[in-house]
Structure 1
Amino acid sequence: FNGNTTEELCARWSALGAFYPFSRNHNSDDCIDQDPVSLGPTVTAAAKRALEMRYSLLPYFYTLFFKAHTTGDTVVRPLFFEFPTDPNSYEIETQFLWGPAVMVVPTLYQNMTFVNAYLPPGVWYDLRNHSSYEARSGQYFTLDSPLTDINVLLRSGHIVVTQTPEVTTADTRKGDFIMIVGLDAESKANGSLYWDSGDGLDNILLREFNLFEFSVQKNELISTPKVFGYDMNGQKLSKCVILGVKHKPNSVFINSVPTSRFSYDKNLNRLTIDSINAVLSKNVTIVWK
């Protein structure tokens, strides 16, 4: 905010700022302009990529705020909130979590093309390219950090719901849903989604909202509507990306109906199921064998 920035640092901190709950770019009036376009294509690309990631994750972020409102849970939290028995997590000040499932690992200094990230025990999936890192007892990993990118990781055992980013958040939230599943060592995962009109003040009080819970075990994903009080205007679950699938499935079933619209990447252990077109107002099951 105060003082003149550089192109590189503005790119880095614009990417970080995209993952603050209240995200905006501004500076004091006696400094050089630092909006992305003013500082050139590198800052523009870094800000755009980070904001697109933020927009895609807004369904998960929105759900975290619902939980904060109803249970007092934290939205953004330090690592030791989730890993209190890991003393190494106590001193980590340059990484943070969105809820229990998503870790943000920014690059904060100049002339850095990598970042040393501390990953608590478990498997962590890169949300940019779906590569994975297995931390058996909690350890540091060196992650590539191109100037226009920021490392954002999905914790194994969790499910997040995303959408394709559009120019505005209002347009983004009109799209269909894409589910990203990070399987743990036991091939299990859980998650949830809160959804309402997006512009009401009393949706929870009036019960004009939807709450869905998701679980995976034994190669079966189940989506269950716990509360359904808001018309979703035809929005559907269109795609599911399941990370940590060890073996290529021979078949996939959506609500007991076989589908050929799936692919498997053996290098990433990634199963992608397209054209699901399932309404979430009813139970949805996806099975792979």
Structure 2
Amino acid sequence: FYLAHVGKASPAVAAPLFFICPTDAACLNSSTQFVLAGVLLVSPVVQSGADFVNTYLPKGIWYSLEYSNGIASIVGAPFRVSDVGAYYKLSAPVGAAPPLHIRGGSVMSMYDGDARGADLTTSLVAAGPYGLYVALDDMQSAFGHLFFDDGLSMISSSSAKTTFVAFQANATCVIASPESSSESHTPIWRSIQIFGLTNAPASLTFNGIPLSSWRYDTERQALIVSMVSLSVEISQGWTLRWEHTTRSSSPMTV
């Protein structure tokens, strides 16, 4: 939203599917699905009483995002769509969120605290903590940004309290690079999750220091790193790096 506001991204925060795949005929013909910020694909149910939806996924890697009780999480194995796009019949129970998918190559941050449902207030979410979700594409890369403000000051004001951080990732590391920050204190990261890693890492380092608070989830092809003991604020720069084993591994904790 911030990038669209300042003219550094498409002004269409909610865009039709063909905005991300303009040469795909199925995307051109899609009239119900849409993409938020070029990252999150939404497949709404538009037929009364229907409990499923035929979701079209363009070529690439897509990660299912489940939203329940105010909390989002990536679930199941990624959809790896090769050559051309494909349709999937997905469950969409009445009263639940519609099918949501994160586009491979994206980095997102979301609230990762303990509040749920009606307890989730704007002030609680703003206080954090947060989780970073890295969704690797078929080239094992991803990038994204985080904009955070105090929710009160005007962005255009010289006294605005804002933080802007860029993220980039590949098959062996994630790097956070603060581009600006005028806040003396920002929320902390609770977790960093990297999706699309087909092999379990052998070891991890955070800013060059060995890290033991992590595990690998085989089903989701995800590296899940706990940041609780490090107390790293979202405005800080850092590098998370890992080395791979040469074979797939079962879920593990080192």
TM-score band w.r.t. shorter chain: 0.7 to 0.9
Which of 110, 122, 141 matches 2:88? 141
What letter corresponds to residue 98 of structure 2 in structure 1?
I
Q: Deviations over 1:68-110 (max 9, x none)?
A: 2100622111111111122221121111111111111112223
Conserved 8 A contact 2:137-2:196? yes
- Cα separation, 2, equivalents of 1:199 and 1:125: 34
Flag the structure with higher helix content.
1
SS at match of 2:199: coil
Moved more, 156-165 or 104-113: 104-113
Larger Rg over CA atoms: 1
Unaligned runs of 5+ in 2: 67-73, 244-254
Q: Displacement of 1:286 after TM fit?
A: 0.7
Q: Displacement of 1:218 after TM fit?
A: 3.4
Unaligned runs of 5+ in 1: 1-63
Provide closer, same or farther for how the CA distance between residues 205 and 140 of structure 1 changes in structure 2, counting only shifts above 3 A. farther
The number of equivalent residue pairs is 224
Which of 95, 99, 112 matches 1:151? 99
SS at match of 2:23: coil
Conserved 8 A contact 1:224-1:280? no
Matched with 1:247 is 199
Q: Deviations over 1:222-271 (max 9, x none)?
A: 000001112334x1122011110110112121111112211111122111
Provide closer, same or farther for how the CA distance between residues 282 and 186 of structure 1 changes in structure 2, counting only shifts above 3 A. same
What letter corresponds to residue 246 of structure 1 in structure 2?
T
SS at match of 2:201: coil
Matched with 1:69 is 5
Flag the structure with higher strand content.
2
What letter corresponds to residue 189 of structure 1 in structure 2?
A
What letter corresponds to residue 6 of structure 2 in structure 1?
T
Matched with 1:268 is 220
Conserved 8 A contact 2:153-2:160? no
Matched with 2:190 is 238
Conserved 8 A contact 1:265-1:271? yes
Q: For 1:106-185, what aligned pairs fall within 5 Å after superposition?
A: 106-128=44-66, 129-131=74-76, 132-136=78-82, 137-147=84-94, 148-164=96-112, 166-185=119-138
- Cα separation, 1, equivalents of 2:173 and 2:21: 28
Q: Displacement of 1:204 after TM fit?
A: 5.3
Conserved 8 A contact 1:79-1:89? yes
1:200 aligns with 2:153: yes
Q: Displacement of 1:182 after TM fit?
A: 0.6
Q: Displacement of 1:195 after TM fit?
A: 1.0
What letter corresponds to residue 144 of structure 1 in structure 2?
S
Moved more, 122-131 or 142-151: 142-151
Matched with 1:285 is 239
SS at match of 1:250: strand
Conserved 8 A contact 2:56-2:87? yes
- Cα separation, 1, equivalents of 2:64 and 2:156: 34
Q: Deviations over 1:19-62 (max 9, x none)?
A: xxxxxxxxxxxxxxxxxxxxxxxxxxxxxxxxxxxxxxxxxxxx
What letter corresponds to residue 142 of structure 1 in structure 2?
K
RMSD of equivalent CA atoms:
1.8
- Cα separation, 1, equivalents of 2:138 and 2:177: 23
- Cα separation, 2, equivalents of 1:81 and 1:206: 36
Which of 85, 91, 97 matches 2:35? 97
Conserved 8 A contact 1:219-1:287? yes
